A and B are shown apart, each in its own frame.
Chain A
Amino acid sequence: MKKTACLLLAAMFLFLFFGCGKGGADSADATASDAPLTARDIADRIFAGVKFDDTLTAAPESSAMSVYRLTGYTGDCAYFVSTMATPEEIAVFKTDENHDVAKLKDAAQNRIELQIDNYSSYAPKEVPKLENAVIYTGEDVVVVCVSADNKTADSLIKGLF
């Protein structure tokens, strides 16, 4: 009985280690470099590593501020938008003196809720992408990703930080 319990405990510890190992190559890349990733770096990595049904294109930072209703925002941001009729997008916002993580997260959640409301009317089949959208909050960054594979996006984004 005691031997069995010890074996089970050992197996549990192994599983815990596997969980900490998530993120693979991306995680290793992030830790290998000392320089913090820029918003554009983060967006590029998400774009390269996640599946999108739509064609995404980089949009001006001013578009991101307008879409996310971030008046007076001066931080580092990157924004990729879909060119067709889907809600897919990548938005990365680093904090500035007027916009902390909480404010940026609120803006992201408002954006997703509004999109759900809009797409419920005219393209309801796109709504699940929004309902499972990734909104990641880090120490000084908020990342939004709406894609065809939000689970992979979630893992990838977490692996970057």
Chain B
Amino acid sequence: MDDRNSVKNNIAAAIAFCIFLAVVPLFLIFLPDKDFSGAEKRVLSQRPELSLGSALDGSFESDVEKYIQDQIPLRNAFVGIGSYFDRLIGKNGADGIISGKDGYLFNTPVVFNKDSLDINLSLLNNFSDNVKTDNYIMIVPSAGYMLEDKLPAVHETYRDKEILDYISDSVLGKYAFVDITDALSRSSETNQIFYRTDHHWTSAGAYAAYREFAGHAGYDALSEDMFVKEYIDGFHGTTYSKSALWFKKPDRMELWTYPESDITVKITDIGSEKTTTSDSLFFKDGLEKYDMYPVYLDGNHSLTEITNDSVKDGTLLIIKDSYANTLATLLADSFHRVLMVDLRYYRTESVSGLIEEYGVDKLLVLYGIDNIINDTNLIWLK
């Protein structure tokens, strides 16, 4: 009797397995392919084309493997299960994301590649010799460094202080180094300064930097209660997408508006005929997309020009990465004109020419700590 039950069970298991093997390919054949994963924020592999060449050189087989991995039904669920399982067995950070306390997801520490950093700092220092502006540099430390109490007990060391000190020494005499770590630390006592599910700072974090920069650049920083805040819920950012920890709670974004400002935003993309203008610093169309962060100044573009007719003077040019998108929405309330140049998109035009054309008096270099080391686009700075 037991033997019969055992045989029946084995047969049932074999049948179930065969059904699984038969059904999954049917799903792959008949269900429409997805081209993009909004959760993971990446393009998914499409059905490969068979050719004699691709069959002979093996690329067809590897393309099929990638296709199945990307298009298998319930992919997000499988990826998420794998990610949670990895953390359960102690592989927290293996995928580049450390799962911390209170729902925080941190990028693992940046590697201090001194050769790469030296190249970038040399390019910046050389550029400073060609312009007649007051020059500042602000480097945003990583969330894991600033929020050490949110990290798990065991984690890699964040070398942010060492890197920031090195940068400060290397630009001495060329740029005023704006150290925002103390300001961020003080703000973190009462505010959330970094998103839990994204590597960027929040509006509160950017505001701490805005106030600190005021002390260097000589403008009067607006107090926090002068801003009208709009709250946007449901933001899942870069670290969420990379981690696949799908049950992490979303963040709240804040849009800070100073009612007295009279703002015009003009966005230009080099190589494109299109110019976008707006009377708002916030592009709410972006809130419907897979990436909500471009609500701040429509994300990254070659050149973004913000003019505030309620402020009489002061022209600031920011050479930047995406951290500036939030900060610039605050700086725009204290300068007549703020120009943002993203060298990932501004390669063929002259930044020194732009400085001369607009009569820029203050230059701010603003990067996250990983990009100031690893970005290779500073070679376009001229």
Report the stretch among B35-43, B77-85, B156-164, B213-221 that lies at the interface: B35-43
Binary interface encoding of chain A residues 50-70 relative to chain B, with 1 for a CB under 8 A from any of its CBs, else 0: 000011010000110011010
Q: Please tell me if the beta carbons of B300 and A122 are within 8 angstroms of each other in the complex.
A: yes
* Closest chain A CB from B119 CB (angstroms): 6
Query: Given A63-B379, A81-B347, A127-B42: A71 and B115 within 8 A (CB)?
Result: yes
Q: Please tell me if the beta carbons of A124 and B42 are within 8 angstroms of each other in the complex.
A: yes
Please report the C-alpha to C-alpha distance between residue A121 and residue B198 in the assembled complex, in whole angstroms: 10
Q: Please tell me if the beta carbons of A120 and B271 are within 8 angstroms of each other in the complex.
A: no
Q: Which residues of A contact B269 (CB under 8 A)?
A: 84-85
Please report the C-alpha to C-alpha distance between residue A67 and residue B375 in the assembled complex, in whole angstroms: 9
Q: Which residues of A contact B271 (CB under 8 A)?
A: 54-55, 83-84
- Answer yes or no: B362 CB below 8 A from chain A CBs: no
Binary interface encoding of chain A residues 117-141 relative to chain B, with 1 for a CB under 8 A from any of its CBs, else 0: 1101110110110000000000000
- Answer yes or no: A19 CB below 8 A from chain B CBs: yes
Binary interface encoding of chain B residues 45-87 relative to chain A, with 1 for a CB under 8 A from any of its CBs, else 0: 1000000110010000000000000000000000000000000
- Answer yes or no: A99 CB below 8 A from chain B CBs: no
Please report the C-alpha to C-alpha distance between residue A122 and residue B324 in the assembled complex, in whole angstroms: 14
- Answer yes or no: A40 CB below 8 A from chain B CBs: no
Q: Which of A22, A84, A117 contacts B272 (CB 8 A)?
A: A84
Question: Which residue of chain B has its CB nearest to the CB of A128?
Answer: B43
Range of interface residues on chain A?
A: 20 to 34
Q: Please tell me if the beta carbons of B42 and A120 are within 8 angstroms of each other in the complex.
A: yes
* Closest chain B CB from A109 CB (angstroms): 14
Q: Please tell me if the beta carbons of B41 and A67 are within 8 angstroms of each other in the complex.
A: no
Q: Please tell me if the beta carbons of A124 and B41 are within 8 angstroms of each other in the complex.
A: yes
Q: Which of A22, A114, A125 contacts B43 (CB 8 A)?
A: A125
Q: Please tell me if the beta carbons of A121 and B238 are within 8 angstroms of each other in the complex.
A: yes
Please report the C-alpha to C-alpha distance between residue A146 and residue B212 in the assembled complex, in whole angstroms: 42
Query: Given A122-B299, A122-B300, A124-B41: A85 and B344 within 8 A (CB)?
Result: yes
Q: Please tell me if the beta carbons of A122 and B119 are within 8 angstroms of each other in the complex.
A: no
Q: Which residues of A contact B299 (CB under 8 A)?
A: 122
Chain A contact residues: helix, strand, loop or mixed? helix
* Closest chain A CB from B10 CB (angstroms): 41
Please report the C-alpha to C-alpha distance between residue A128 and residue B70 in the assembled complex, in whole angstroms: 13
Query: Given A69-B116, A111-B376: A83 and B41 within 8 A (CB)?
Result: no
Q: Which residues of A contact B375 (CB under 8 A)?
A: 118
- Answer yes or no: B322 CB below 8 A from chain A CBs: yes
Q: Please tell me if the beta carbons of B119 and A15 are within 8 angstroms of each other in the complex.
A: no
Q: Which residues of B contact A82 (CB under 8 A)?
A: 347
* Closest chain B CB from A44 CB (angstroms): 19
Q: Please tell me if the beta carbons of B53 and A22 are within 8 angstroms of each other in the complex.
A: yes
- Answer yes or no: B261 CB below 8 A from chain A CBs: no
Q: Please tell me if the beta carbons of B348 and A15 are within 8 angstroms of each other in the complex.
A: no
- Answer yes or no: B145 CB below 8 A from chain A CBs: no
Q: Which residues of A contact B170 (CB under 8 A)?
A: none
Q: Which residues of B contact A85 (CB under 8 A)?
A: 269, 300, 302, 344-345
Please report the C-alpha to C-alpha distance between residue A114 and residue B348 in the assembled complex, in whole angstroms: 22
Q: Please tell me if the beta carbons of A19 and B376 are within 8 angstroms of each other in the complex.
A: no
* Closest chain B CB from A151 CB (angstroms): 8
Q: Which residues of B contact A81 (CB under 8 A)?
A: 347
Q: Which residues of B contact A83 (CB under 8 A)?
A: 270-271, 347-348
Please report the C-alpha to C-alpha distance between residue A111 and residue B42 in the assembled complex, in whole angstroms: 19
Q: Which residues of B contact A125 (CB under 8 A)?
A: 36, 43
Please report the C-alpha to C-alpha distance between residue A63 and residue B302 in the assembled complex, in whole angstroms: 19
Q: Please tell me if the beta carbons of A127 and B43 are within 8 angstroms of each other in the complex.
A: yes
Query: Given A55-B271, A111-B376, A125-B36: A84 and B42 within 8 A (CB)?
Result: no
- Answer yes or no: B352 CB below 8 A from chain A CBs: no
Question: Which residue of chain B has its CB nearest to the CB of A129?
Answer: B43
Q: Which residues of A contact B123 (CB under 8 A)?
A: 66
- Answer yes or no: B374 CB below 8 A from chain A CBs: yes
Q: Which residues of B contact A120 (CB under 8 A)?
A: 41-42, 242
Q: Please tell me if the beta carbons of B376 and A122 are within 8 angstroms of each other in the complex.
A: no
Binary interface encoding of chain A residues 77-89 relative to chain B, with 1 for a CB under 8 A from any of its CBs, else 0: 0000111110000
Please report the C-alpha to C-alpha distance between residue A111 and residue B379 in the assembled complex, in whole angstroms: 14
* Closest chain A CB from B380 CB (angstroms): 8
Q: Which of A54, A55, A66 contacts B119 (CB 8 A)?
A: A66
Residues facing A in B286-340 (CB within 8 A) are 299-300, 302, 322
Q: Which of B45, B242, B270, B376 contacts A67 (CB 8 A)?
A: B376
For the complex of A and B, the 4 pairs showing the least CB-CB separation, nearest first, are A84-B271, A67-B376, A66-B379, A85-B345
13 A-B pairs with CB atoms under 8 Å apart are A54-B271, A66-B376, A67-B376, A69-B115, A82-B347, A83-B271, A83-B347, A84-B271, A111-B376, A118-B374, A120-B42, A122-B300, A122-B344
5 A-B pairs besides A85-B300, A120-B242 with CB distance below 8 A are A18-B52, A55-B271, A67-B379, A124-B41, A124-B42
The interface of chain A, by Cβ under 8 A from chain B, is 15, 18-19, 22, 54-55, 57, 62-63, 66-67, 69, 71, 81-85, 111, 114, 117-118, 120-122, 124-125, 127-128
